[in-house]
Structure 1
């Protein structure tokens, strides 16, 4: 066994916290979940400057000003070596001694371009990535793994990673990890089953050093809901390339997702349960009356005390402190659409919204006719001016899912990165407020606590949230990994003790 792996095992046996490095970290959804499970975050690699700053501001608040600036720096993983990165973080000595767990989710597009042969090449030629002019991101991830020798890794990606142009990328990663000395498994998990008020399906892959002989993999659900048919259908499509019923000499890397049992679990957290204590934004709010820059320096009071366990979690997250007010409860300025939002029914999408807008436009034409005695026709400029003020320009055939009004009594649908461009996919369920969700509401739906600070302008904050792994989902995975490591280390200690006793006899 590698000396550095032995040293890490002994360190954890002494009760010290496992140290985690987050690659492709974003603002830190995975980091936050691991921190909540007792891991120590030593740093992150993130290319997007606002996200890198968010990560540093939340996980290195106690660092010196100089070190905090180092963590704030955006980094391109293709341009920095693992040893140099850890030296930047102030970690001296051999790089292989510092990292117990590596987490992250490299973009699947770059992975699919390389294929199985190139992925496995890195096991035989650790610097194979240098010969790839595209600086492939997955190869860099594996390079970091090979250089830092962590005890465990966690990888996350979208469901399509199981069927990307006919490739099961997760399967290919597991093969590459096997060649690097890791035992790996992957599955599909939905965040809603782990206390997140959002139905978010993702692929998760966990791997452990072979020497640990780990056999426990993914956490059991804590919540239950009957998912809409679309989520079941997406999972079935993604899993068409999953290998099953393999021969005895072949390893099956896929693990069936843990199935939630309705009778034993809490009901899934709904949108209303997640958001109902946040400040009310009505038609008189400055946020709806003007197009001023949406800054995070305004403070809003909560509308009430916490009403349920989830709201308590969000307001009193251990390790991040608490807030008496909300500083990022800001929304987009969409004056044309507020009246449409108010008339939409829960679950309505863009075709229904367009129909409502058309009805309101026709009502306005009739009002003008009665009040002004003018009948506007399609050949009149004013007709199009009035239409523009009521009817969105998007084709209902091309953009059927562009808009969607949330249901109060159900978890939210998946938040996507394009929240950074618009928020129409998550229209607030409360028709009295008639708006899209705020930055803080998006964060709540992803299970980011209220004390988590997002850096950059509003669009950047929305993008960071949409790209993140929900912290409560990450926490469940981190607790499973820590439990598995602890069990493996205890078993290994027992076996070593038995072997030593036998040798003496």
Structure 2
């Protein structure tokens, strides 16, 4: 890659599909390595770094040929140097695997003449900390307090101890501070401080970063003790847009249909400004689930209620012939339309991988759940971001991701902090 002076670098742990990483890249940071255990998410990361390599070398035709199916994935990856591809480590982090992961990252640093890691980002899988997860814990074989994922922060701390980045960003769900009666959060703070960091934890909402989604997350930021750094100040962005602005230029399709060609509908200012869709993009992953007639009838009722007064469907209000669930006491809002005429829609969840009932398209003429591409747009992923694997995995990757636009805002704040202190560590640029 091109030599960039004073460009900060980062390592992404528990990287998922790369939402957090994408935001840092968009803000000008250079990725050194991604560590992710899921095979399909790791493939998505490889595809994305391949995209950036081809873009930098003015060879995007190769990428577009891959998206169109003109070349196979094997042929596509053969165009990318091994030194680029091996920066994605598809590994499950554990005490056993960490030495080899460290060796690989050390090799990447040495090959690129990098003496210092600037930032480590990422957040361990969040189900063990989440409020929803704990509410369901009584129905699980392994209670939440005994979930081994509760202690993944210890592995994160070992990366901090080894590479001593000037700052780190640890993203997680609401509830991390109260998990396990507060003991987990106390232990996390103790571990992170023990390896040389001061930390702060604050709630952030993606809607404050220009994302058209109400998504609350805890953002923990740490910095080396006595470095003079602090928790960044993030610029609040309030876009003049509605959720429909994300959806309206995509082709209208019915349940079970797909489209690989953009429609001639007008592109909204928001989509243009945020570079969600750019000239030359190939439309992918715009295929809707097939639905039973019963579900379609329910969808129409849900959409009509919302569009005519912002009312939500109560499951018990459905005619008996449309009801299939025996549970009539909870999850009565299991059918929910995306709020197209509002500035923000409800939180995108990985549960969309199971069914689309909670994310119904607001256009009654389409009477379907949203597609992978529409879900990605709600999460602020650009259309040229391709998700690998089967549709179930694609939805999980998107639902679990940090919205790139939110991540970009966080990265800008981090960059501002780092630049205030200058290159005091004798940092070398990524090449």
Q: What residue number does 1:286 align with?
A: 257
Give the structure, 1 or 2, with the largest relative contact order (CA under 8 Å, sep 6 or more): 2
Structure 1 CA distance for aligned equivalents of residues 25 and 119 of structure 2:
12
Structure 2 CA distance for aligned equivalents of residues 432 and 111 of structure 1:
40
Structure 2 CA distance for aligned equivalents of residues 134 and 159 of structure 1:
16
Structure 2 CA distance for aligned equivalents of residues 149 and 31 of structure 1:
19
Cα RMSD, aligned residues only: 2.9
Displacement of 1:332 in angstroms is: 1.6
Structure 2 CA distance for aligned equivalents of residues 431 and 356 of structure 1:
18
Q: What residue number does 2:233 align with?
A: 218
Give the secondary structure class of the aligned counterpart of 2:109.
coil
Computing the radius of gyration from Cα coordinates, the structure with the larger value is 1
Alpha-carbon displacement from aligned partner over 1:137-173 (angstroms, at most 9, x marks no partner): 2111100110111111000100110211321644543
Q: 2:274 is matched with which residue: 313, 326, 336? A: 313
Q: 2:27 is matched with which residue: 34, 37, 40? A: 37
Cα contact 2:257–2:287 (8 A) shared by 1: no
Structure 2 CA distance for aligned equivalents of residues 143 and 446 of structure 1:
30
Moved more, 206-215 or 188-197: 206-215
Structure 1 CA distance for aligned equivalents of residues 177 and 113 of structure 2:
32
Structure 2 CA distance for aligned equivalents of residues 94 and 282 of structure 1:
50
Q: Which structure is higher in helix share? A: 1
Q: What residue number does 2:339 align with?
A: 407
TM-score normalized by the length of structure 2: 0.78
Query: 1:10-159 alignment to 2 at 5 Å?
Result: 15-61=5-51, 62=53, 64-67=80-83, 69-71=85-87, 74-78=90-94, 79-81=97-99, 82-87=101-106, 90-92=108-110, 97-108=115-126, 136-159=151-174
Q: 2:299 is matched with which residue: 334, 338, 341? A: 341
Displacement of 1:391 in angstroms is: 3.3
Q: How many residues align?
A: 370
Structure 2 CA distance for aligned equivalents of residues 95 and 208 of structure 1:
24
Cα contact 2:38–2:90 (8 A) shared by 1: yes
Name the CA shift for 1:337/1:466 in 2 (closer, same or farther; >3 Å): same
Alpha-carbon displacement from aligned partner over 1:429-470 (angstroms, at most 9, x marks no partner): 111111111101100110001110100011110000000000
Structure 2 CA distance for aligned equivalents of residues 107 and 25 of structure 1:
10
Structure 2 CA distance for aligned equivalents of residues 273 and 58 of structure 1:
25
Alpha-carbon displacement from aligned partner over 1:249-274 (angstroms, at most 9, x marks no partner): xxxxxxxxxxxxxxxxx45x432122
Q: 2:289 is matched with which residue: 322, 332, 335? A: 332
Structure 1 CA distance for aligned equivalents of residues 198 and 328 of structure 2:
48
Cα contact 1:153–1:208 (8 A) shared by 2: yes
Structure 1 CA distance for aligned equivalents of residues 416 and 186 of structure 2:
25
Q: What residue number does 1:499 align with?
A: none
- Structure 2 segments unaligned to the other structure (5+ residues): 54-78, 131-147, 426-431
Give the secondary structure class of the aligned counterpart of 1:26.
coil
Q: What residue number does 1:351 align with?
A: 314
2:193 corresponds to 1:178: yes
Structure 2 CA distance for aligned equivalents of residues 282 and 66 of structure 1:
42
Q: 2:380 is matched with which residue: 424, 447, 453? A: 447
- Structure 1 segments unaligned to the other structure (5+ residues): 1-13, 113-132, 224-265, 288-297, 359-386, 494-505
Q: What residue number does 1:263 align with?
A: none
Cα contact 1:323–1:451 (8 A) shared by 2: no
2:319 corresponds to 1:300: no
Q: 2:407 is matched with which residue: 474, 478, 483? A: 474
Name the CA shift for 1:394/1:306 in 2 (closer, same or farther; >3 Å): farther
Name the CA shift for 1:187/1:222 in 2 (closer, same or farther; >3 Å): same
